[in-house]
Amino acid sequence: MNSSELTVLACGIGLLLLFGVLHMTGLEVIRKHKPQQDSHRYLGLLFTFWGLALLHLIEIALGAGLLALLLSQGHGSLSSGYGSSAADLIYFAGATFSTLGYTNLEAHSAIRLLVMILSLSGFMLITWSATFIYTIWGESFRE
Protein backbone atom coordinates (compact mmCIF):
# COMPACT_ATOMS: atom_id res chain seq x y z
CA MET A 1 0.00 0.00 0.00
CA ASN A 2 1.23 3.47 -0.77
CA SER A 3 1.04 6.44 1.60
CA SER A 4 -2.14 7.83 0.01
CA GLU A 5 -3.95 4.52 0.50
CA LEU A 6 -2.74 4.27 4.10
CA THR A 7 -3.94 7.82 4.79
CA VAL A 8 -7.38 7.13 3.32
CA LEU A 9 -7.66 3.81 5.13
CA ALA A 10 -6.69 5.39 8.47
CA CYS A 11 -9.23 8.18 7.96
CA GLY A 12 -11.90 5.63 7.05
CA ILE A 13 -11.23 3.54 10.15
CA GLY A 14 -11.36 6.72 12.24
CA LEU A 15 -14.71 7.59 10.65
CA LEU A 16 -16.02 4.10 11.41
CA LEU A 17 -15.02 4.53 15.06
CA LEU A 18 -16.67 7.96 15.17
CA PHE A 19 -19.84 6.51 13.63
CA GLY A 20 -20.01 3.85 16.35
CA VAL A 21 -19.78 6.40 19.17
CA LEU A 22 -22.12 8.86 17.44
CA HIS A 23 -24.72 6.21 16.67
CA MET A 24 -24.71 4.74 20.17
CA THR A 25 -25.05 8.23 21.65
CA GLY A 26 -27.84 9.09 19.22
CA LEU A 27 -29.77 5.93 20.10
CA GLU A 28 -29.52 6.78 23.79
CA VAL A 29 -30.75 10.34 23.16
CA ILE A 30 -33.70 9.00 21.15
CA ARG A 31 -34.52 6.42 23.84
CA LYS A 32 -34.45 8.99 26.64
CA HIS A 33 -36.44 11.70 24.85
CA LYS A 34 -39.12 9.76 23.02
CA PRO A 35 -42.67 10.08 24.36
CA GLN A 36 -43.79 7.31 26.70
CA GLN A 37 -45.49 4.32 25.10
CA ASP A 38 -48.46 4.20 27.48
CA SER A 39 -49.76 7.66 26.54
CA HIS A 40 -48.27 8.29 23.06
CA ARG A 41 -47.67 4.92 21.44
CA TYR A 42 -47.51 6.08 17.81
CA LEU A 43 -45.81 9.38 18.58
CA GLY A 44 -42.97 7.48 20.28
CA LEU A 45 -42.47 5.37 17.16
CA LEU A 46 -42.58 8.39 14.87
CA PHE A 47 -40.11 10.23 17.12
CA THR A 48 -37.80 7.23 16.94
CA PHE A 49 -38.15 7.05 13.15
CA TRP A 50 -37.42 10.77 12.69
CA GLY A 51 -34.55 10.63 15.14
CA LEU A 52 -32.96 7.73 13.27
CA ALA A 53 -33.43 9.51 9.94
CA LEU A 54 -31.71 12.61 11.31
CA LEU A 55 -28.92 10.51 12.80
CA HIS A 56 -28.28 8.81 9.45
CA LEU A 57 -28.32 12.14 7.61
CA ILE A 58 -25.68 13.46 10.02
CA GLU A 59 -23.57 10.35 9.43
CA ILE A 60 -23.91 10.76 5.66
CA ALA A 61 -22.89 14.42 5.95
CA LEU A 62 -19.80 13.43 7.93
CA GLY A 63 -18.91 10.88 5.26
CA ALA A 64 -19.37 13.52 2.56
CA GLY A 65 -17.18 15.92 4.52
CA LEU A 66 -14.38 13.39 4.78
CA LEU A 67 -14.75 12.57 1.08
CA ALA A 68 -14.43 16.28 0.25
CA LEU A 69 -11.35 16.65 2.43
CA LEU A 70 -9.56 13.62 1.00
CA LEU A 71 -10.50 14.43 -2.60
CA SER A 72 -9.24 18.00 -2.16
CA GLN A 73 -5.92 16.60 -0.96
CA GLY A 74 -5.54 14.52 -4.14
CA HIS A 75 -6.31 11.07 -2.73
CA GLY A 76 -8.44 10.07 -5.70
CA SER A 77 -11.35 11.22 -7.80
CA LEU A 78 -14.94 10.45 -8.65
CA SER A 79 -16.42 9.87 -12.10
CA SER A 80 -15.63 12.63 -14.54
CA GLY A 81 -17.58 15.80 -13.80
CA TYR A 82 -18.62 14.82 -10.28
CA GLY A 83 -17.35 15.63 -6.84
CA SER A 84 -17.01 19.35 -7.27
CA SER A 85 -20.16 20.37 -5.37
CA ALA A 86 -21.51 19.63 -1.92
CA ALA A 87 -24.62 18.10 -3.50
CA ASP A 88 -22.46 15.65 -5.49
CA LEU A 89 -20.59 14.55 -2.39
CA ILE A 90 -23.71 14.24 -0.23
CA TYR A 91 -25.42 12.23 -2.97
CA PHE A 92 -22.43 9.95 -3.42
CA ALA A 93 -21.95 9.44 0.34
CA GLY A 94 -25.69 8.81 0.84
CA ALA A 95 -25.98 6.39 -2.06
CA THR A 96 -22.85 4.54 -0.92
CA PHE A 97 -24.05 4.47 2.70
CA SER A 98 -27.52 3.16 1.88
CA THR A 99 -26.91 0.81 -1.08
CA LEU A 100 -23.67 -0.96 -0.22
CA GLY A 101 -21.87 1.18 -2.77
CA TYR A 102 -24.14 0.66 -5.78
CA THR A 103 -24.26 4.10 -7.35
CA ASN A 104 -23.88 5.62 -10.79
CA LEU A 105 -20.59 7.24 -9.77
CA GLU A 106 -17.23 5.55 -9.56
CA ALA A 107 -14.39 6.24 -7.17
CA HIS A 108 -10.84 6.07 -8.50
CA SER A 109 -7.53 5.55 -6.72
CA ALA A 110 -7.12 5.54 -2.93
CA ILE A 111 -10.52 7.10 -2.20
CA ARG A 112 -12.06 3.70 -3.08
CA LEU A 113 -11.00 2.51 0.37
CA LEU A 114 -13.12 5.19 2.04
CA VAL A 115 -16.05 4.27 -0.21
CA MET A 116 -15.72 0.65 0.92
CA ILE A 117 -15.73 1.74 4.58
CA LEU A 118 -18.76 4.01 3.99
CA SER A 119 -20.59 1.00 2.51
CA LEU A 120 -19.69 -1.17 5.49
CA SER A 121 -20.66 1.60 7.89
CA GLY A 122 -24.02 2.12 6.24
CA PHE A 123 -24.83 -1.57 6.36
CA MET A 124 -23.86 -1.83 10.03
CA LEU A 125 -25.60 1.37 11.15
CA ILE A 126 -28.81 0.79 9.20
CA THR A 127 -29.00 -2.74 10.61
CA TRP A 128 -28.40 -1.38 14.12
CA SER A 129 -31.16 1.21 13.60
CA ALA A 130 -33.58 -1.41 12.28
CA THR A 131 -32.98 -3.54 15.36
CA PHE A 132 -33.48 -0.50 17.58
CA ILE A 133 -36.79 0.53 15.98
CA TYR A 134 -37.97 -3.09 16.08
CA THR A 135 -37.25 -3.10 19.83
CA ILE A 136 -39.14 0.18 20.30
CA TRP A 137 -42.05 -1.24 18.29
CA GLY A 138 -42.11 -4.32 20.52
CA GLU A 139 -42.06 -2.19 23.68
CA SER A 140 -44.88 0.01 22.32
CA PHE A 141 -47.23 -2.80 21.45
CA ARG A 142 -46.42 -5.43 24.07
CA GLU A 143 -49.58 -6.32 25.93
Burial 76-104 (b: 16+ CB within 10 A, else e): bebeeebbeeeebbbbbbbbbbbeebebe
Q: Is 1 inside a domain boundary?
A: no
Q: Is 73 part of any domain?
A: yes
Give the angle subtended at the CA of 94 by the CAs of 91 and 100, to the nearest 5°. 125
**Position 42 in a domain:** no
What local confidence, expressed as pLDDT, does residue 118 receive? 95
pLDDT of residue 143: 54
Output the CA–CA distances (angstroms, integers) from residue 19 to 7, 24, 68, 127, in the order listed. 18, 8, 17, 13
**Confidence class for position 84, pLDDT limits 50, 70, 90:** confident
Mean pLDDT of the 109-121 span = 94
DSSP-derived secondary structure letter, 67: H
Is pLDDT at 123 greater than 70 in this prediction?
Answer: yes
Q: Domain with 80 in it: what CATH number?
A: 1.10.287.70
Q: What does pTM read for this prediction?
A: 0.90
101 is in which domain, residue-wise? 7-25+50-141
Task: Pick the closest to residue 68 from 54, 82, 57 (CA basis).
Answer: 82
- Measured distance CA(69)–CA(37) in Å, rounded: 43
102, pLDDT greater than 80? no
Inside any domain, residue 104: yes
Tell me the average pLDDT across 65-86: 87
Q: Is residue 99 part of a domain?
A: yes
Question: Does some domain include residue 71?
Answer: yes
- Any domain includes 110: yes
Confidence of residue 62 (pLDDT cuts 50, 70, 90): very high
Q: What is the pLDDT of residue 112?
A: 93
Q: Residue 33: helix, strand or coil by DSSP? A: helix
Give the total number of structural domains in the chain: 1
Residue 2 lies in a domain: no
